[in-house]
Chain A
Amino acid sequence: MKKPIYLDNHATTPMDPRVLQAMLPYFTEYFGNAASRNHEFGWVAEQAVDKARKQIADLIGASAREIIFTSGATESDNLAIKGVAEMYAEKGNHIITAATEHKAVLDTCKKLEKNGYRVTYLPVKGDGLVDLDMLREATTDKTILVTIMYANNEIGVLQPVAEIGKICREKGVLFHTDGVQAIGKVPVDVNRDHIDLMSITGHKLYGPKGVGALYVRRKAPRVQLTAQMDGGGHERGMRSGTLNVPGIVGLGEACAICHKEMPEESKRMQYLRDKLRNRLEKELDEVYLNGSWEHRLPNSLNLSFAYVEGESLLMGINDVAVSSGSACTSATLEPSYVLKALGLGDDIAHSSIRFGIGRFNTEEEIDYVADKLVNVVRKLRELSPLYEMAKEGIDLSKVQWAHD
């Protein structure tokens, strides 16, 4: 068993060796610019890119012509949101999103607010899901875009995307979803789910970093975007810049592998994830799940271990890579805004650990992690004045804390 054990697959994933193999010839052998129209080097590169377009489209139920390549999902989110905002500015200036979105969406919306757009940040319920009635009520005749992620990166919760898409169709509003965490893990279909735009990235599905795509619907309705990257008119004028051919080949191959292996893989991920949760809840008391259990990615777990602080927990399991919603682990010393949006107290956010199980994790690793975690939590609870007080029957919410 190799250490440290990697259980942070929501942050990034190791590249599948098969993806690397597919990419390699495009660095030094088939190195042409896909936009070189006049010689074989260009044609071979263009062919590889077209193949990748099809592989990505097949995974999400789209057509190849609807795939635009970018440098990653952050760029795709920017392109979708700003591109629609600028293109449809005469139709309206109102955008709806959710409080638990990725910063790539939230910060883009904040930028648009500075430029005169109105943004509604829908709160979420305690289970992390958007309230569909609130969404309906929030739309106005000035609303031009709803952007709500398919699955959340911190808590793994799946939004009711098909229903959101239906509401947007009824209201004549475009629907963008950040599909980064969901694609390749659960079956996504842009037609079944009424999706008009979707952000995709390579490095969350065992593909390379630095490459992504944006699905842009061409029929019913035909979506138009104002390009954010100018210079040459690549990707139907939506995104200029020489294509990252090896990266795109990798992204395509990674999608093809997911398409084939997803049914079996998601069962296996779920088995490992459930085993981890069961062991921890059986061997420890006061363990809490953050976010809906039924509407969740099969490989995702976010647990709080009451009375134990997240960073000290991570220090104790130093040969396991996971992440925490604790303020101490963030550069800005702020606790996770996603957990706060669920209505959890800061102390629960401070005690949270996010587990993202991946293609290459084994049952042996899961057992090791469970053993280690149980030991560390027990040890830290012995050190914890809060655990001591709770065991004495003191209601911590009624205590007057002396803080400066």
Chain B
Amino acid sequence: MAYSDKVLDHYNNPRNVGSLDKKDSNVGTGMVGAPECGDVMKLQIKVNDASGIIEDAKFKTFGCGSAIASSSLATEWLKGKTVDEALAIKNTDIVNELSLPPVKIHCSVLAEDAIKAAISDYRAKQGQKVGSEQTVA
């Protein structure tokens, strides 16, 4: 199987590998996939509460070259976007950017799921934060 240059680039020079503190209330963590399927992605975002902009994003992936590239690309795209803009990222955007062949499309779908899972986790934390502020008053 021939990999596109972009996939190889992300594999050899992955962007934003690592972890954010998942206990931080500004951090959303999304973990998708399963070891039995050969694909697990952990994607984290750190959001600035005031501006709603994603300041930092990190990823770790267990999976093939296309899965690593899809999640690496996702973290690149997330930085600087608002949470709503991030929700608009579609797996097909990832497929096009990385020239993924049909058999690897599911890697891009997993990356989109990871983004949504991270945002969902962040929002859940925000809901709790807002709730606790109200009760404090």
Taking beta carbons and an 8 Å cutoff, which residues of A are in contact with B? Answer: 307-312, 315-316, 326-328, 333, 335, 345-347, 350, 382-388, 396, 401-404
Contact of A403 among B3, B19, B33, B68 (CB under 8 A): B33
Contact indicator B33/A401 (Cβ below 8 Å):
yes
* Cβ A312 vs Cβ B35 within 8 A: no
Given A312-B11, A312-B63, is A383 in contact with B68 using a C-beta cutoff of 8 Å? yes
15 intermolecular pairs with C-beta atoms under 8 Å apart: A312-B64, A312-B65, A315-B65, A326-B64, A346-B35, A350-B35, A382-B17, A383-B17, A383-B62, A383-B68, A384-B61, A385-B41, A401-B31, A401-B33, A404-B113
With a cutoff of 8 Å between Cβ atoms, the chain A residues found around residue B68 in the complex are: 312, 383
- A345 and B35 contact, CB distance less than 8 A: yes
| Interchain CA distance A382-B40 in the complex, whole Å | 14
| Shortest Cβ distance from B103 into A: residue | A333
B64 to A311, Cβ gap below 8 A? yes
Q: How would you classify the secondary structure of chain B's contact residues: helix, strand, loop or mixed?
A: mixed
Q: Nearest chain A CB to B50's CB is how many angstroms away?
A: 30
Task: Tell me if A347 and B35 are in contact (CB < 8 A).
Answer: yes
B65 contacts across to A, CB distance below 8 A = 311-312, 315
**Closest 10 interchain pairs by CB?**
A347-B35, A401-B34, A346-B36, A311-B64, A385-B42, A385-B60, A350-B38, A403-B34, A328-B64, A315-B65
Query: Would you call the interface of chain A mostly helix, strand, loop, or mixed?
Result: helix
Among the listed B14, B19, B67, which residue makes an inter-chain contact with A388, where contact means beta carbons less than 8 Å apart? B19
Q: Which residue of A lies closest to B104 (CB)?
A: A328
- Report whether B60 and A384 are in contact in the complex, using a CB–CB cutoff of 8 Å: yes
The smallest C-beta distance from A392 to any residue of chain B, in angstroms, reads 10
B29 to chain A, nearest CB (A): 10
Inter-subunit contact A402/B32 (CB<8 Å): yes
With a CB–CB cut-off of 8 A, which chain B residues contact A347?
35-36, 38
Most buried by B among A350, A387, A388: A350
Write out the residue numbers on chain A whose beta carbons fall within 8 Å of the beta carbon of B64: 309, 311-312, 315, 326, 328
Check B117 for interface membership: any CB of A closer than 8 A: yes
Interface residue from B14, B33, B113 paired with A383 (Cβ < 8 Å): B14
A314 to B90, CA, bound (A): 28
| Residues of B14-48 contacting chain A, CB below 8 A | 14, 17, 19, 31-42
Choose from A315, A335, A383, A401 the contact partner of B38 (Cβ within 8 Å). A335
A346 with B37: CB separation less than 8 A: yes
CB distance from A357 to the nearest CB of B (A): 25
Closest chain B residue, CB of each to CB of A307: B62
Which of A315, A326, A384, A386 has the largest count of B CB atoms less than 10 A from its CB?
A: A315
**Chain B residues at the A interface, C-beta cutoff of 8 Å:** 3, 8, 11, 14, 17, 19, 31-42, 60-65, 67-68, 103, 113, 117
Report how far A40 CA is from B38 CA in the complex, Å: 61
| Nearest-Cβ distance from residue A365 to partner chain B, whole angstroms | 23
How many angstroms between the C-alpha atoms of A326 and B66 in the bound complex?
14
Bound CA–CA A386/B61 (angstroms):
8
A346 near B60 (CB under 8 angstroms)?
A: no
Nearest A residue to B41, CB-CB: A385
Known: A307-B62, A315-B65, A385-B31. A403 touches B37 (CB 8 A): yes
Most chain A beta carbons < 10 A, residue from B32, B34, B63, B117? B63
Question: In chain B, what residue has the closest Cβ to A350?
Answer: B38
The minimal Cβ–Cβ distance linking B38 to chain A, given in whole angstroms, is 4
**Bound Cα distance from A387 to B60, whole angstroms:** 10
Q: How long is the Cα–Cα vector from A404 to B117 in the complex, in angstroms?
A: 12
10 more contacts with CB within 8 A, not counting A311-B64, A346-B37, A403-B37, are: A309-B62, A315-B3, A315-B64, A315-B65, A327-B38, A346-B38, A347-B35, A384-B62, A386-B35, A401-B40
Cβ-closest chain A residue relative to B30: A402
Within the complex, the shortest CB–CB distance from B104 to chain A, in Å, comes to 8
Shortest CB distance B61–A (Å): 6
Distance, CA A326 to CA B37, complexed state (A): 10
Q: How far is B40's CA from A388's CA once the two chains are assembled, in angstroms?
A: 12
Are B36 and A309 interface neighbours, CB within 8 A? no
| A316 CB, min distance to chain B CBs, angstroms | 8
CA distance A388 to B59 in the complex (A): 12
Chain B residues in 8 Å Cβ range of A308: 62
List residues of chain A with CB within 8 A of the CB of B42: 385, 388
Do A388 and B11 touch across chains, with their CB atoms under 8 A apart?
no
Complex Cα distance, B1 from A333, in Å, reads 13
A345 touches B36 (CB 8 A): yes
B34, A315: Cβ atoms closer than 8 Å:
no
Chain B residues within an 8 Å CB radius of A315: 3, 8, 11, 64-65
Q: Is the CB of A385 within 8 A of B34?
A: no
A308 to B67, CA, bound (A): 12
A328 to B103 alpha-carbon distance, docked (Å) = 9
Q: How far is the CB of B12 from chain A (nearest CB, A)?
A: 9
CA distance A402 to B38 in the complex (A): 13
State whether A385 touches B11 (Cβ < 8 A): no
CB atoms of B62 and A385 under 8 A apart: yes
Please name all residues of chain A whose beta carbon is closer than 8 Å to the beta carbon of B103 when the two chains form the complex.
333
